[in-house]
Structure 1
Amino acid sequence: MQTNIPNTLFCFVFTLFFSVVLHSQEVETNSIPVRSEKDSIAPAIDSEEILTQLQEQDSTKTDTVKKPQFLTDIVDYTAKDYMRLSPRDNKMYLYNEAQIVYGDMTIEAGLIVIDNEKNEVYAYGIEDSIGNYSQTPIFTQAQRKVEPDSIRFNFDSQRALVYNSRTQEAEFNVKGMVTKRENDSVYFMKNVRFTTSEDVDDPEYFFYARRIKFVPGKKIVSGLVNMYIADVPTPLGLPFGYFPLTDEETSGFIIPSFGDSQYGYNLQNGGYYFAISDYVDLLTLGSYYTNGSYTFEFSSNYANRYKYRGNARVRYEKLFNSERGFPDFSERSSYNIQWSHSQDAKANPSSRFSASVNLGSSEYYAESINQANQGNYLNNTLSSSVSYSKTFPGEPQVNLSLAARHSQNTRTQQINLSLPTLQLSMSRIYPFAPKGGAKKGMIQNVNLQYSLRAENQMNTVDSLFFKPEMFRDARLGAQHSIPLSTNFKIFKFLSVSTGTSYEETWVSKTFERSYDPVIDDVVIDTISGFDSYRTYNFNASIGTTVYGLKNFGKDKKIQAIRHVMRPSVSYNINPGFDRYYDAYERDDPTTTDQIELVDYSRFEGTLYGAPGRNFSSSIGLSLSNTFEAKVRDRDSTALEPKKITLLNNFSLSTSYNLAGDSLRLSPIALRGSIPIVKNKLDINFGANLDVYALDNNNRRIDKLNIENGGSLFRLTNGSVNFGYAFSSKDFEGGDEEETDELENETFRNGGRPDDLFGKGVGPDGELFDEDPFEGREEENESSWYNYKIPWDVRLAYSMNYTNRTRQNEISAHSIMFNGNVELAPKWQLGVSSGYDIVNNGVTPTQLRFQRDLNSWMMSFSWVPFGNRKSWNFLIRIKANVLSDIKYDKRRAPDRRL
Structure 2
Amino acid sequence: MNKLCKCKVRLKNVLKVAFSIVALLISHQQTFSYPNYNFFLAKTWPAYFYRTDTIVPVIDSATIRTLDTTVAVVKDTLRNTTDTLTLSKDSLTAPIAYHAKDSFVFLVPQKQLYLHGNANAKTEGATSAESVDITANTIFYDNATNIVRAWGGTDTAKKALNLPTIIQGESKSIMDTISFNLKTQKGIFKNTYYNEGEIFVNAEIVKKVDKDVAFAYNGRFTTCNLDEPHFALRARKLKLITNKLAVSGPAIPEFESVPMPVAIPFGIYPMQRGRHSGVIPPQFTQNSSMGLGLEGLGYYKVINDYWDVTFRGNLYSYFGYTVNVSPQYYKRYRYRGRFSFNYQNTRTLNESTIIPDEFISNKSFQVNWSHSMDSKARPGVSFSASVNAGSSGFNRNIPNNPYKNFQNQMSSSIAYSKSWQDGKYNLSMQANHNQNNMTKLINVQLPTLSFSTTTFNPFQNKESAGTPKWYENFGIGYNGTLLNQFSFYDTAFSFKHLLDTTQWGAQHNIPITLALPALGPLMISPSVSYSENWMSRKIYRKWNASEEKVDTINKKGLYIARQMSFGLSANTRIFGTFNFRKGKILALRHEIRPTISASYSPNMARSYYEELQIDKRGNKMMVSQYDGNLFGGFSNMAFGGLNFGIDNLLEMKMRNDNDTTGLDENLTKKIRLIDGLSINSGYNFLADSMQWQPISISMRTSLFDNKLSVTSNATIDQYAVNPETGIRTSQLLWSRGHLGNLTNASLALSTSFSSKKKDERKDKERVPIDPSLTMDEQQRQIEYVRQNASEFVDFNIPWNLSASVAVNYYRQQMANYRGVQNIFNASLNLSGDFSITPKWKAGGSTYFDLKTLQMNMLTLFISREMHCWQLSINVTPVGPWKSFSIVLNPKAGILRDLRINRTRNFGGY
Aligned-partner Cα distance in 2 for 1:657–1:450: 28
1:609 — aligned with what?
Answer: 632
Question: What are the residue-to-residue correspondences of 1:481-880 with 2, within 5 Å?
Answer: 481-488=509-516, 492-508=520-536, 529=557, 531-550=558-577, 552=579, 557-559=585-587, 561-580=589-608, 603-632=626-655, 636=659, 638-639=664-665, 643-692=670-719, 701-705=729-733, 707-708=735-736, 710-711=737-738, 718-728=745-755, 766-767=788-789, 772=794, 790-799=798-807, 811=824, 815-833=828-846, 839-842=852-855, 844-880=857-893
1:10 — aligned with what?
Answer: none
Aligned-partner Cα distance in 1 for 2:783–2:176: 52
Q: Work out whether residues 44 and 124 of structure 1, in 8 Å CA contact, stay in contact via their aligned partners in 2.
A: no
1:383 — aligned with what?
Answer: 411
Q: Work out whether residues 170 and 246 of structure 1, in 8 Å CA contact, stay in contact via their aligned partners in 2.
A: no
1:426 — aligned with what?
Answer: 453
Which amino acid letter does the alignment assign opposite residue 298 of structure 1?
Answer: V
Q: Work out whether residues 286 and 905 of structure 2, in 8 Å CA contact, stay in contact via their aligned partners in 1.
A: no
Aligned with residue 207 of structure 1, among 204, 210, 233: 233
Aligned with residue 479 of structure 1, among 498, 507, 513: 507
Q: Work out whether residues 373 and 760 of structure 1, in 8 Å CA contact, stay in contact via their aligned partners in 2.
A: no
Which amino acid letter does the alignment assign opposite residue 772 of structure 1?
Answer: D
Deviations 1:603-639 (A, max 9, x none): 4543323454444445323222233445556675944
Counterparts in 2 of 1:165 and 1:811: CA distance versus 1, 3 Å: same
The alpha-carbon deviation at position 822 of structure 1 amounts to 4.0
Aligned-partner Cα distance in 1 for 2:624–2:397: 45
SS in 2 for 1:129: coil
Aligned with residue 221 of structure 2, among 181, 188, 194: 194
1:162 — aligned with what?
Answer: 189
Question: What are the residue-to-residue correspondences of 1:171-190 with 2, within 5 Å?
Answer: 171-190=198-217
SS in 2 for 1:375: helix
The alpha-carbon deviation at position 869 of structure 1 amounts to 3.2
The alpha-carbon deviation at position 353 of structure 1 amounts to 1.6
2:392 — aligned with what?
Answer: 362
Aligned-partner Cα distance in 2 for 1:517–1:712: 38
The alignment yields a C-alpha RMSD, in angstroms, of 4.6
Aligned with residue 338 of structure 1, among 359, 368, 371: 368
Is it true that 1:469 corresponds to 2:490 in the alignment?
Answer: no
Aligned with residue 158 of structure 2, among 123, 131, 154: 131
2:37 — aligned with what?
Answer: none
Which amino acid letter does the alignment assign opposite residue 333 of structure 1?
Answer: K
SS in 1 for 2:433: strand
Counterparts in 2 of 1:69 and 1:497: CA distance versus 1, 3 Å: closer
SS in 2 for 1:881: helix
The alpha-carbon deviation at position 216 of structure 1 amounts to 1.2
Aligned-partner Cα distance in 2 for 1:162–1:156: 17
Q: Work out whether residues 338 and 356 of structure 1, in 8 Å CA contact, stay in contact via their aligned partners in 2.
A: yes
Aligned-partner Cα distance in 2 for 1:736–1:121: 43
Q: Work out whether residues 391 and 490 of structure 2, in 8 Å CA contact, stay in contact via their aligned partners in 1.
A: yes
Aligned-partner Cα distance in 1 for 2:402–2:781: 9
SS in 2 for 1:136: coil
Which amino acid letter does the alignment assign opposite residue 221 of structure 1?
Answer: V
Counterparts in 2 of 1:140 and 1:618: CA distance versus 1, 3 Å: same
Aligned with residue 250 of structure 2, among 218, 224, 245: 224
Q: Work out whether residues 745 and 768 of structure 1, in 8 Å CA contact, stay in contact via their aligned partners in 2.
A: no
2:30 — aligned with what?
Answer: none
The alpha-carbon deviation at position 481 of structure 1 amounts to 2.2
SS in 2 for 1:198: coil
Structure 2 stretches lacking a partner, 5+ long? 1-50, 64-87, 125-130, 765-774, 814-818
Counterparts in 2 of 1:696 and 1:152: CA distance versus 1, 3 Å: closer
2:816 — aligned with what?
Answer: none
SS in 1 for 2:789: coil
Question: What are the residue-to-residue correspondences of 1:21-60 with 2, within 5 Å?
Answer: 45=53, 47=55
Counterparts in 2 of 1:602 and 1:888: CA distance versus 1, 3 Å: same
SS in 1 for 2:209: strand
Q: Work out whether residues 582 and 599 of structure 1, in 8 Å CA contact, stay in contact via their aligned partners in 2.
A: yes
1:287 — aligned with what?
Answer: 314
Aligned-partner Cα distance in 2 for 1:123–1:157: 17
Which amino acid letter does the alignment assign opposite residue 858 of structure 1?
Answer: L
Deviations 1:177-214 (A, max 9, x none): 11112121222221222222224x63222222222332
Q: Work out whether residues 44 and 50 of structure 1, in 8 Å CA contact, stay in contact via their aligned partners in 2.
A: no
Which amino acid letter does the alignment assign opposite residue 501 of structure 1?
Answer: S
The alpha-carbon deviation at position 501 of structure 1 amounts to 2.8
Aligned with residue 329 of structure 1, among 333, 355, 359: 359
The count of aligned residue pairs is 800
Counterparts in 2 of 1:442 and 1:678: CA distance versus 1, 3 Å: farther
Counterparts in 2 of 1:678 and 1:303: CA distance versus 1, 3 Å: farther
Q: Work out whether residues 70 and 156 of structure 1, in 8 Å CA contact, stay in contact via their aligned partners in 2.
A: no
Deviations 1:561-610 (A, max 9, x none): 344241414334241433446899x999679xxxx999987645433234
Q: Work out whether residues 408 and 436 of structure 2, in 8 Å CA contact, stay in contact via their aligned partners in 1.
A: yes
Aligned with residue 397 of structure 1, among 407, 421, 424: 424
Aligned with residue 353 of structure 1, among 341, 364, 383: 383
Deviations 1:195-246 (A, max 9, x none): 22224x6322222222233221222233333333333334554444433321
Moved more, 402-411 or 210-219: 210-219
Q: Work out whether residues 716 and 740 of structure 2, in 8 Å CA contact, stay in contact via their aligned partners in 1.
A: yes
Is it true that 1:455 corresponds to 2:483 in the alignment?
Answer: yes
Aligned-partner Cα distance in 1 for 2:513–2:477: 9
Which amino acid letter does the alignment assign opposite residue 187 of structure 2?
Answer: A
Aligned with residue 97 of structure 1, among 105, 108, 118: 118
2:300 — aligned with what?
Answer: 273
Counterparts in 2 of 1:361 and 1:736: CA distance versus 1, 3 Å: farther
Counterparts in 2 of 1:625 and 1:88: CA distance versus 1, 3 Å: closer
Percent of residue pairs bearing the same amino acid type? 27
The alpha-carbon deviation at position 387 of structure 1 amounts to 0.9
Q: Work out whether residues 419 and 457 of structure 1, in 8 Å CA contact, stay in contact via their aligned partners in 2.
A: yes
Aligned-partner Cα distance in 2 for 1:477–1:545: 39
Which amino acid letter does the alignment assign opposite residue 173 of structure 1?
Answer: F
Which amino acid letter does the alignment assign opposite residue 404 of structure 1?
Answer: A
Deviations 1:803-841 (A, max 9, x none): 999999995555543223345445433232366555445
SS in 2 for 1:246: coil
Which amino acid letter does the alignment assign opposite residue 384 of structure 1?
Answer: S
SS in 1 for 2:272: coil
Which amino acid letter does the alignment assign opposite residue 191 of structure 2?
Answer: N
Deviations 1:497-550 (A, max 9, x none): 333333333345556678999999887666555x23141222323333252434
Aligned-partner Cα distance in 1 for 2:160–2:255: 28
The alpha-carbon deviation at position 793 of structure 1 amounts to 2.4
Aligned-partner Cα distance in 1 for 2:112–2:888: 55
Aligned-partner Cα distance in 2 for 1:428–1:92: 81
Aligned-partner Cα distance in 2 for 1:76–1:573: 87
Moved more, 797-806 or 296-305: 797-806
SS in 2 for 1:673: strand
Aligned-partner Cα distance in 2 for 1:574–1:185: 85
Aligned-partner Cα distance in 1 for 2:436–2:477: 36
Q: Work out whether residues 170 and 196 of structure 2, in 8 Å CA contact, stay in contact via their aligned partners in 1.
A: no
SS in 2 for 1:797: strand
Counterparts in 2 of 1:626 and 1:116: CA distance versus 1, 3 Å: closer
Q: Work out whether residues 310 and 742 of structure 1, in 8 Å CA contact, stay in contact via their aligned partners in 2.
A: no
Aligned-partner Cα distance in 2 for 1:106–1:439: 72
SS in 1 for 2:647: strand
Which amino acid letter does the alignment assign opposite residue 767 of structure 1?
Answer: A
2:898 — aligned with what?
Answer: 885
Aligned-partner Cα distance in 2 for 1:515–1:700: 20
Aligned-partner Cα distance in 2 for 1:532–1:546: 44
